[in-house]
Structure 1
Amino acid sequence: MTTNRDRQRAAARARLEREMADRAENSRVRRRRNTMIAAGAGGLVVLLGVAWLVVALTKGDDKKTEAGADPSASAAPTSCTWLPLVDPSASPKPEIPKEVKDVGTPPTSGEPRTGTQLMTLDTSVGTVKIEMDTAHAPCAAASFTYLASKKFFDGSKCHRLVTSGIYVLQCGDPSATGMGGPTYRYAEENLPTGRRPAYTEGMVAIAKTQDPSSSGSQFFIVYKDIESLQADYTVLGKVTEGLDLVKKVAEAGVVPDAQSQSEGDGAPKTEVKINTMTVAPAQG
């Protein structure tokens, strides 16, 4: 016969098992959320297989903070390094996938390192203006300035909308597959380390893989504060006009992606096409 003590012990064990299962699930959800942004860009590295992502971070670069933080917190590099996706010394040289758009690489010096630049997106849903933080994200700004001058983004679609866990509209892939970008990568900078939440409404940041120095052309617009995303992604700047348009796109919802584990992750139901992207000169 089962005693009261036995029943109490059984109930306690059941509670403990439930708590452990809940903790494991919460941990899994947090990990998935923190890799959501990387998932699309990461596909490119998987596709290449032998992609050459040389780590070119100066010691301490991963501790940089966003605009307004103490600029003396770490030593900023004085030039930008553009890292080729494919090892040029490999034999035979791997083919660059069709999702990658080759327009060369930005200049290796001379990029603005003060003030801001205005990036204007003429899209199918209206005009979105982004103030790029040239002072704190000079290499990212230089990359976007260069790519815009090559019409890299013109005619591309914002391929991803996330409405659950994280709240972003992701653009910048000419192939609209989540695996596209330029033939180079560069180091992360201007990370919002120490901020809670790290990524807030109106921020524009750059997608990357889980590897360092893997920033490319894909960027995401944050339309609602994100509590769970870690400070791993370069803050390019902030939206100064058109955030209401992004919010309307988010309200319309997503086309479910069969490969995604989240119902709120897929292509936006309202198509967002970047007709043209232009960048104005730096403003001191």
Structure 2
Amino acid sequence: MRKLALALAVLAAGPAAATDLQIEIGGEANGTVTVELFDDVAPGHVERITTLANEGAYDGVYFHRVIDGFMAQTGDVEFAKEGQDMRMAGRGGSSYPDLKAEFSDQSFDRGVLGMARSQNPDSANSQFFIMFEPAPHLNGQYTVVGKVTDGMDVIDAIKRGTGPNGAVVGEPDRMVSVTVVE
């Protein structure tokens, strides 16, 4: 009986608190973006992003690949930080091992945050992208990690890439700071 009462009390308390990211963006785009992370959809990827954010690894990282009408990519904590040679941007990751894909039925709609990877589905590490527009061809092919809940106007203002494959020429916008909010 006591176990049943405890279980009912837990259910009455409601769902567990969601994990959010607050991203301060600087450059041509300036402002705060809030992302709700989908702990229940991609727990391994959410854990990686929150670990790197808590370590400060994302602070100062550039949006190195930005394709108008598609997405803005960032998170290369190895090669895309302020003061680094941007020719290697997009090739790096973190000191942690790559992650096994956590594909779901979540759609790549406007504002969705997905994990970047190579052709190997199990190669996501630290890089992620935020969608400007829906991209149904990515559904079931990349891991969905979260969605922008506030500040999409800031994402829309990120400097677009004009170089090969969306590479940003000149001074890219950057994540000034990334904070985990629970």
Q: Is 1:123 the equivalent of 2:1?
A: no
Of residues 192, 203, 209, the one that matches 2:112 is: 203
Higher relative contact order (CA 8 A, sep 6+): 2
Q: Select the structure of larger CA radius of gyration.
A: 1
Give the 3-state SS of the residue equivalent to 1:228 in structure 2. Answer: helix
Task: Indicate the residue corresponding to 2:161 in structure 1.
Answer: 254
Task: Indicate the residue corresponding to 1:179 in structure 2.
Answer: 91
Q: Is 1:156 the equivalent of 2:65?
A: no
Give the 3-state SS of the residue equivalent to 1:139 in structure 2. Answer: helix
Q: For 1:168-247, what aligned pairs fall within 5 Å after superposition? A: 168-174=71-77, 175-176=79-80, 177-183=89-95, 184-192=97-105, 198-247=107-156
Assess if the C-alpha contact under 8 Å between 1:190 and 1:234 holds in 2: yes
* 1:245 Cα deviation after fit: 1.4
* 1:199 Cα deviation after fit: 1.0
Could you report, residue by residue, the CA deviation over 1:70-102 in whole angstroms, capped at 9, with x for unpaired residues? xxxxxxxxxxxxxxxxxxxxxxxxxxxxxxxxx
Partner amino acid, structure 1, of 2:44: C
Equivalenced residue count is: 155
Give the 3-state SS of the residue equivalent to 2:36 in structure 1. Answer: strand
Assess if the C-alpha contact under 8 Å between 2:68 and 2:132 holds in 1: no
Q: 5+ residue gaps in structure 1?
A: 1-113
Change (3 A) 1:115 1:135: farther
Assess if the C-alpha contact under 8 Å between 1:199 and 1:222 holds in 2: yes
Change (3 A) 1:186 1:278: same
Q: Is 1:275 the equivalent of 2:176?
A: yes
Change (3 A) 1:189 1:178: same
- In the alignment, the residues of structure 2 paired with residue 189 and residue 235 of structure 1 have an alpha-carbon distance, to the nearest angstrom, of 8
- In the alignment, the residues of structure 2 paired with residue 268 and residue 241 of structure 1 have an alpha-carbon distance, to the nearest angstrom, of 27
Give the 3-state SS of the residue equivalent to 2:167 in structure 1. Answer: strand
Greater fraction helix: 1
- Name the % identity: 28
Could you report, residue by residue, the CA deviation over 1:31-65 in whole angstroms, capped at 9, with x for unpaired residues? xxxxxxxxxxxxxxxxxxxxxxxxxxxxxxxxxxx
Give the 3-state SS of the residue equivalent to 1:267 in structure 2. Answer: coil
Partner amino acid, structure 2, of 1:129: T
Aligned CA RMSD, in angstroms, stands at 2.1
Task: Indicate the residue corresponding to 2:167 in structure 1.
Answer: 266
Q: For 1:41-80, what aligned pairs fall within 5 Å after superposition? A: none
User: TM-score w.r.t. structure 2 length?
Assistant: 0.77
Partner amino acid, structure 2, of 1:142: E
- In the alignment, the residues of structure 1 paired with residue 180 and residue 118 of structure 2 have an alpha-carbon distance, to the nearest angstrom, of 26
* 1:147 Cα deviation after fit: 0.8
Structure 1 segments of 4+ aligned residues over 4 angstroms from their partners: none
